[in-house]
Chain A
């Protein structure tokens, strides 16, 4: 039981008024631990909304520094933050928005050797990364550690997301068994993205995290939500957990984590 201060009762009053959240749901937010991997387009809105919601612990993982070209969509970073570490910039905004939130800032890129230690102990993970190597790594690590997570991807005017409950619902590898060939798929840094698409998708991921913590509603499991903002067309595609999935199937062949080849998205190194 959390004893709310008067200030907290006021700050979270719109949650407490919500029939499906209430005091109990708010308590769950406040004792919840969510890890956001990537403080970029998806991670920025997710971090801000989860901080505003009073999620007790927010972990932020990112090894990059803020660049001017990030500011078109990564709304947690401001002009004055250019060239400082993204995790530092994000931590400052989160603390300014809601001092109740404990922030774990991890200035690293996830890789096979560190990810399991980084994600362990969190209730829910948000994948806000920009490359397939990281997306598959996060999927496999969350399946192995049995930590629920939200997958997200954006490109141009479109986005896709699904929520994975390891052992219970289809995972990312059930749909895509392996990363695409290098440079087969255009990425945001090559093909561009409308900034607000990141906000649309990242807030859906944050909503899933909050639903999971409060134990309300139906999570976006066994379905891939895709949208095309040009037509404002949303589609939910029903999927099944695949018995022959290489990581979560009946006879998994991926038993330990490996670093896939160099990230497809990284124009700087290609």
Chain B
């Protein structure tokens, strides 16, 4: 399956993967740290484990960044 993750083409030799699986494959240690955009729409955290991605999907991880002043 071909996916575009954070703008990069990636080939994964497996099908029926969920957003949760992709996060784990991409070694995102704490899924609660990221917001996930699938083909331009945000995916609710509660359905990460039940949302299946398909060939050609574009997935973006957006990370929380809090720093600034301190």
A residues in contact (CB < 8 Å) with B: 38-43, 62, 64, 70, 74, 127-132, 135, 152-155, 158-160, 174-177, 180-181, 184-185, 187-189, 193, 198, 224, 226, 235, 237-240, 242, 264-265
CA distance A146 to B68 in the complex (A): 23
Q: Can you name 21 A-B pairs with beta carbons within 8 Å?
A: A38-B68, A38-B69, A42-B69, A127-B68, A128-B68, A131-B66, A132-B64, A135-B66, A153-B68, A159-B65, A176-B64, A177-B44, A184-B33, A185-B33, A188-B66, A188-B70, A189-B67, A226-B63, A235-B7, A237-B62, A242-B41
Contact A181 B32 (CB under 8 A): yes
Number of interface residues of B (CB under 8 A): 21
B5 shortest CB reach to chain A, Å: 12
Considering the complex, give the chain A residue whose CB is closest to the CB of B69.
Answer: A40
Given contacts A175-B42, A189-B70, are A153 and B60 in contact (CB under 8 A)?
no
Partner of A130 from the list B7, B41, B42, B66 (CB cut-off 8 Å) is B66
A180 shortest CB reach to chain B, Å: 5
Does B2 interact with chain A (Cβ within 8 Å)? no
Partner of A40 from the list B7, B30, B68 (CB cut-off 8 Å) is B68
User: For A131, what are the chain B residues with a Cβ–Cβ distance below 8 Å?
Assistant: 66
B residues in contact (CB < 8 Å) with A: 6-7, 30, 32-33, 35, 37, 40-42, 44, 60, 62-70
Contact B67 A240 (CB under 8 A): no
B27 shortest CB reach to chain A, Å: 16
User: For B66, what are the chain A residues with a Cβ–Cβ distance below 8 Å?
Assistant: 130-132, 135, 153, 155, 185, 187-188, 264-265
Contact B35 A175 (CB under 8 A): yes
User: For B44, what are the chain A residues with a Cβ–Cβ distance below 8 Å?
Assistant: 177
Considering the complex, give the chain B residue whose CB is closest to the CB of A191.
Answer: B67
User: For B7, what are the chain A residues with a Cβ–Cβ distance below 8 Å?
Assistant: 235, 237
B17 shortest CB reach to chain A, Å: 22
Contact B32 A153 (CB under 8 A): no
Considering the complex, give the chain B residue whose CB is closest to the CB of A160.
Answer: B65
Contact B40 A129 (CB under 8 A): no
User: For A64, what are the chain B residues with a Cβ–Cβ distance below 8 Å?
Assistant: 69
CA distance A226 to B7 in the complex (A): 12
19 extra interface residue pairs, beta carbon distance < 8 Å, beyond A155-B66, A187-B67, A242-B41: A41-B68, A41-B70, A130-B68, A130-B69, A131-B66, A154-B67, A154-B68, A159-B65, A174-B42, A175-B42, A185-B64, A185-B66, A187-B70, A188-B68, A193-B67, A237-B7, A237-B60, A237-B62, A265-B66
